[in-house]
Structure formats: structure tokens, C-alpha cells
Amino acid sequence: MQTEEKIKSLSELSERIGQIESLSGNIRCQLVSTKESTTRNGSFFLDIEIADHSGNKKIKIWQESKAYASFLTLPKNAFVEFSATFRNSSYGLQAIVHTLRVLSQEEIQELLEQNQNAEIQADWELLQKKIDSIADPRLCRLCSQFLIDYGERLKRAAAAREYHHNFRGGLLRHVCQMIQAAEGLMAAYPGYNWDLIKAGILFHDCGKLWENDFQEQGFVMKRSKTAELIGHIPIGVEIVNSLWRSLQHREEFHRALIPPSDLVRVHLLHLIVAHHGLREYGSPVTPRTPEAWILHILDNLDAKLEMFRCAYEEGKEVVPGIFERRPPLEGYPIAPLGKYTPNPMPLEQTEETSPENLID
């Protein structure tokens, strides 16, 4: 019998269960959904989705669990603690749940204030610093006003519902990483408008503040009629146009600057509408400027690298160095090549590295 222990987060659960056959422990989280189903032989099980500051997790709860019936009586979006024995299978994560209880108000507040808040604050301070570095006074003011008006939404929104940065504060993290990557490219390509690119990074997914918005006090991602009917790209265009109009009385927006203000606005809007890259991926137009291509590539790069990070952290190794498939990545994710070290260890010869299997 394994010793039961506290599991600090769903990301920790994913990482540890990918390394061992089973894990017994207790975890605190919010219940997102519960659905009762039956197997082919008529046995009952629950498909539940739970969430915390690190993301969401879907789990199958079997009927032999002592707490099975208790899940069916929980209020919507309840905050709970349960102890269970977790196992990975070809059908996903499964659990035999031993105990289940609803958290007190004090425990809920403690869960909401876990270390993700410190990470969000660090990202927020970094973003403010990067926005302040924008030299174009119009773009700097526009971005600063956006943070004033919509900063609290940005701190809790996700960048996606499933595939990447799908946690509270995920969109903020995505934006910060893209801006840092952009700054890494500036030395190699100094001739482009990096002020415009930074502003485009901030605004490219700003419609997701409605599309992927979390509860103010919780981990459930809400649905918005506005987002469902319009989509995040048109919402982003409306946000930029509305903010721009509200700031036009300021001197930097109506005095003669180079490039002209209205041309700056149109180029920024182009970055928003073209950031998906291809029409079949949802872009109304394809990128027509170098800045639009840079933004699209940075967006795609950061999303893909986050998918790989999750595949390595949460996925199970099919064989050493090869991880289970994780859509939309193609094929099986392969562990990256380690960095060079000047003090090499003796090479352990494997079937793949034996001389007869190497190509000349």
C-alpha cells in the first residue's frame, strides 16, 4: 500500500503519474463538469473535469470508488478535496477515489491564492516594462491604456481552451514569451518596426479576454455569447479601434508624426486579422507585411513549444525518449537532444547507437 501524500497541483499530478505506474494522494481543485456513463458490460463510471491554477484535467472515476455517489450530488463548480489512487491507461487518467469533501471558504481562498498568483504578477510586471519601452508614443499610449482598462481580464484569461497556455493567466504568459522572443530577433532584423510588432503581440489575441475568460474567483473558463457569435479576431479589431478613438484627443494622436497615425492604426489592425497566417486557420487575410509574418511565426512558435512542454511534462513515455501522441502535434513527440557539455559521460551503447545501425 503506497503512502498517501498531498499533490500540490494538477500539473504536478500529470508530471508524476507519467513517471510511475500509480500514485496515491489527495488534491484540491475545482470541479468543472461531471458526466455519468456506462461501459459495454454495463458498469458505471464518471467522466469528470477538474481545474486549478495550473490547468485542467479529465479523469475517469470508477464505480467501485467509495466516493462515487458523492460526486453526483456536488453543486456546480464546487471546490473539493479528494484522495485517490491515480493510474494512467490507454483511456486516459483513471482514479479510485477514497474520500471526497467540499472545501471551506478559507480553503477556497487559499487555493485561489496559490503560487500561480506570484507567476502572474511577475509576468504582469515584465509586460508593463516591455510596453514602456515602446518608442512610438501612439502605440505606447494605446498599449498602456489597454492594460489600464483590461488588465484584470488579461491576468486571468487563457490563450486557448485546450492546446496551449490553457490555464489562468495563460494568455499573459503567451504574450510575455512572444515579446521576449521578438526582442531576441531585433538584433538580426533591425530594419523592421518592432514597436508595431510588440503592440501587435499584445493585441493579437486580446479578443480572447472574452473567448477564454475565467471566473474572477475560480478556475472555470466561462462561455461568452459575444465571443461565440463574433470570434476573437473581430473583437480584437473592435478593441483597438475603440481605444484609438478614445485617445484621439491626445496630442500624440493628432499631431504630424512619421509614419502617419491612421497608417499606424491600419498596420496594427492587419497584424490582428492576419496572425493565424492562413485563411483555413481563420485569418480573414494572409500576412502582407514582414511585421505580420514575424508576429504569425512567433505566435505559432510559442504555441508549439508550449505543446511540447506539456507533452514532456504530462505525457507518458511509450519507450524511453518517445512520448505518447498529443494533438495537434504530429506524430510522437521525441525528447530533445541535450545540450553540449565539455565533460561527457561514457556513451551507453544502445541498439540505436551501435555502429552497425548508424548511417555513413
Residue 75 has pLDDT above 50, yes or no: yes
Q: Which residues pair with 37 in a beta bridge?
A: 45
Phi and psi at 90, nearest 5°, equal -65, -15
- Structure confidence at residue 127 (pLDDT): 97
- Structure confidence at residue 17 (pLDDT): 79
Longest CA–CA span in the chain (Å) reads 75
**In the chain, % of residues over pLDDT 90:** 48
Confidence of residue 1 (pLDDT cuts 50, 70, 90): very low
- Structure confidence at residue 310 (pLDDT): 85
What is the residue whose three cell numbers read 459575444? 226
The predicted-structure confidence for 225-256, as pLDDT tens digits, reads as follows 888 899 999 999 999 999 999 988 888 877 77
Distance between CA atoms of 327 and 10, rounded to whole angstroms? 20
- Structure confidence at residue 2 (pLDDT): 46
Phi-psi bin for 319: left (phi > 0), alpha (psi -120 to 50), beta? beta
**336 DSSP assignment:** P
Q: Which residues pair with 89 in a beta bridge?
A: 92
What is the residue whose three cell numbers read 489597454? 146
**Model pTM score:** 0.82
Among 2-16, 31-45, 104-118, 282-296, name the one with the lowest average pLDDT: 2-16
Around 20, how many Cα atoms within 13 Å sit in the side-chain half-sphere? Answer: 10
Contact (Cβ atoms closer than 8 angstroms) between residue 212 and residue 159: yes
Residue 114 has pLDDT above 80, yes or no: no
The predicted-structure confidence for 268-314, as pLDDT tens digits, reads as follows 999 999 999 888 777 899 999 999 999 999 999 999 999 998 888 87
The predicted-structure confidence for 322-341, as pLDDT tens digits, reads as follows 988 888 888 999 999 888 88
- Structure confidence at residue 256 (pLDDT): 75
State yes or no: cis peptide before 328, omega within 30 of 0. Answer: yes
Of residues 195 and 217, the one with the higher pLDDT is 195
Within its chain, how far is the Cα of 186 from the centroid? 25
CA dist 95 → 12, 41, 86, 326 (Å): 16, 19, 4, 21
Q: Which residues pair with 60 in a beta bridge?
A: 47, 94
Among 37-41, 98-102, 132-136, name the one with the lowest average pLDDT: 37-41
- Structure confidence at residue 351 (pLDDT): 57
